[in-house]
Structure 1
Amino acid sequence: MIPPIASRFVAGESPAKAIEHVQQLDDDEVGAILNLLGEHHTDPDVIAEDVDAYRSLADSIARTTFDACISVKPSQIGLDIGPEEFESNLERIVSHAADRDVFVWVDMEDHTTTDATLEAYERLAREYAPDRSARAEEVAGAGATEATEIGSTKTAESGSGTDGVMVEDGAVGEGVLGLCLQANLKRTREDLERLSDVPGKVRLVKGAYDEPKSIAYKEKERVDEAYRTLLEDAFENRDGGIAVGSHDPAMIEYARELHEEYGTPYEVQMLMGVRDDAQRDLAADGVTVYQYVPYGSRWLSYFYRRVRERKENLLFAVRAVLS
């Protein structure tokens, strides 16, 4: 059982508890990105359990009308064993989720995983980009879970095709997959350009890993500069599918300005337990907002990271202990 001190940042240990939290978010018109906690698995049985858990989670989401999707860490589903193991397991999740119209995000981990993650994402994003309505109808007709407009609701609202695949002739749509890119890595501008014709979403974050100086910007000011540059590139050159993964008010405001200038649809993504009031305020103001919602029994290390990274989180934890 997750203690109250950690429940601010983790939705619960079970999928049912996570879905309950999604319902609460839905009342505030905030979407959810569900992540089963876990990383760096090398036991094939543990990996298989988590892959099956994500497929089951897609079923649970599809039985609702909530705006929810899932997010997977590469090292959770086999990358520490090898790229082939990771890609095979990711495809098992993506194919199952796509048939249920549930969007899948692929998280990005440290720089040693970047190439393998990009290659798997690019192949699967292209392979699963075509119209999925026939497959979804086939699944529903066979008595499986009814496919609903979970991962593509916001897409339709922003003027994309109803299945979120193509915006217009020759334009790249939001597809069934999204990938996280980290602004602190010097290579990311080239990676963003590489994905310019890949049907899918891109989540831009500043980056949380302590990378070598030879490949990453270390100074906060330089990371902020890179993030702003990547945002402008994305708004100017992509048709949509831009996720601003940041709690920084300045970056969120800059994204709003870029949207007004270029008209490109976007969304803001924040962590559960971090600036929750701001998430609700943005949603009330008409901004598409998603909350990253972790759950599962492996909550302790995640909670510890959240407490360490921000002074406000540490103060929250201290107050909770004292009370």
Structure 2
Amino acid sequence: MLPPIADNFVAGETAPEAIAHARDLDGRGVGTILNLLGEHYERPGPAAEDRDAYVRLIDDIADAGIDACVSVKPSQIGLDIGESTFRSNLEVIAERADERDAFVWIDMEDHETTDATLDAFEELARAHEWSVGVCLQANLKRTRKDLDRLIDVPGKFRLVKGAYDEPDDLSYTRKPRVNEEYRELLRYAFEHRDRGVAVGSHDPVMIEHAADLAAEHGTDFEIQMLMGVRESAQYDLAADYDVYQYVPYGNRWLSYFYRRVAERRANALFALRAAIGR
């Protein structure tokens, strides 16, 4: 049983509970990105277990006939063990998604995982066109070059501002500078693509900026927000745009919250404000 604060942000502890939440969102015109909670495994066993859970989840989504996909953390499926383990497990998930006409997002973690994550995404996107996507973080100084490198790869990009506290020499640390970079990354993506752009933001100004760019360049895009944050806005936006809600689930919800708070104190205040204002 999830406590009230967790219940705002986590769909439950089991896959059936997550699918039920996704079915409810589907009825409201909002798609779902399902994420089984878990990360930083140091042994092959748990990584393989979650790999298999994602394969079953993809089957459950396809059988339910709902607008949903999955999102996987590299450290959850073996990156901390070794890049070969991560690649092997991700390939199994991507192959099942391709078989079931489903979609897999690859989450981005801290800067130490960026190269391995982007290399895996590029390889899989070329092997399974438009079946995978990756997250790019505006606060990292390298992201402009990464976006340029991947702009012609047949997969999606989720552009976010970034949630990790990174070293000053590798990242922009001031909020105005991150916002500026985010706007420019959005502009570049919309100018050079006609599909596959996802705007991962709760910022109304950035969403409006993206909508203006999409209208200007004729680019198809989607808006992605977290479960429990500005949900009424998600339903309103879904009347005009493709909107997806990022929905975590699983029995590791406690470590999920502890880790988010440990990464940034602001995350605790963010969660509290969102819960109160939901």
- On whether the aligned pair clears a TM of 0.5, the verdict is yes
Letter in 1 for 2:247: V
CA, structure 1 residues 276+13, in 2 after alignment: closer, same or farther (shift >3 Å)? same
Please state if 1:31 is matched with 2:31.
yes
Q: Aligned residue for 2:103?
A: 103
> How many Å separate the matches in 2 of 1:231 and 1:182?
11
Alignment correspondent of 1:257: 212
Q: Is 1:238 aligned with 2:193?
A: yes
1:25-52 alpha-carbon deviations (Å, 9 max, x no partner): 0111000000000000012111110000
Counterparts of 1:305-320 in structure 2, within 5 Å, are 305=260, 308-309=266-267, 311=269, 313-315=271-273
Partner of 1:198: 153
Distance 1:6 1:196 in 2: 37
After superposition, the Cα gap between the structure-2 partners of 1:79 and 1:278, relative to the gap in structure 1 and judged at 3 Å, is: same
**Comparing both structures, which one devotes a greater share of its residues to helix?**
2
Q: Give the one of 279, 284, 302 matched to 2:256.
A: 302
Q: Quickly say closer, same or farther: Cα 1:116–1:315, change in 2 above 3 A.
A: closer
Distance 1:309 1:208 in 2: 9
Instruction: Provide the TM-score with structure 1 as the length reference.
Output: 0.82
Q: Which has the greater radius of gyration? A: 1
Given that 1:246 and 1:252 are in contact with CA atoms closer than 8 Å, whether structure 2 keeps it comes out as: yes
3-state secondary structure, aligned to 2:5? coil
TM-score, normalised by the number of residues in structure 2: 0.95
Q: In the comparison of the two structures, how many residue pairs are matched?
A: 274
Structure 2 residue identity aligned to 1:290: Y
Gaps of 5+ in 1: 130-174
What is the SS of the residue equivalent to 1:63? Answer: helix
Q: 1:272 to 1:316 in 2, by over 3 A?
A: closer
C-alpha distance in 1 between matches for 2:277 and 2:200: 28
- 1:293 and 2:251 matched: no
RMSD over aligned Cα, in angstroms? 1.7
Sequence identity, in percent?
Answer: 62
Q: What does the per-residue CA deviation read over 1:140-188, in whole Å, with 9 as the maximum and x for residues that have no partner?
A: xxxxxxxxxxxxxxxxxxxxxxxxxxxxxxxxxxx10000000000110
The offset of 1:301, in angstroms, is: 3.1
Alpha-carbon distance in structure 2 between the residues aligned to 1:297 and 1:63: 23
Amino acid at match of 1:67: D
Partner of 2:66: 66
* Equivalent position of 2:225 in the other structure: 270
Residue matched to 1:40? 40
Query: How many angstroms does 1:302 deviate by?
Result: 2.7
Q: Residue in 2 aligned with 1:92?
A: 92
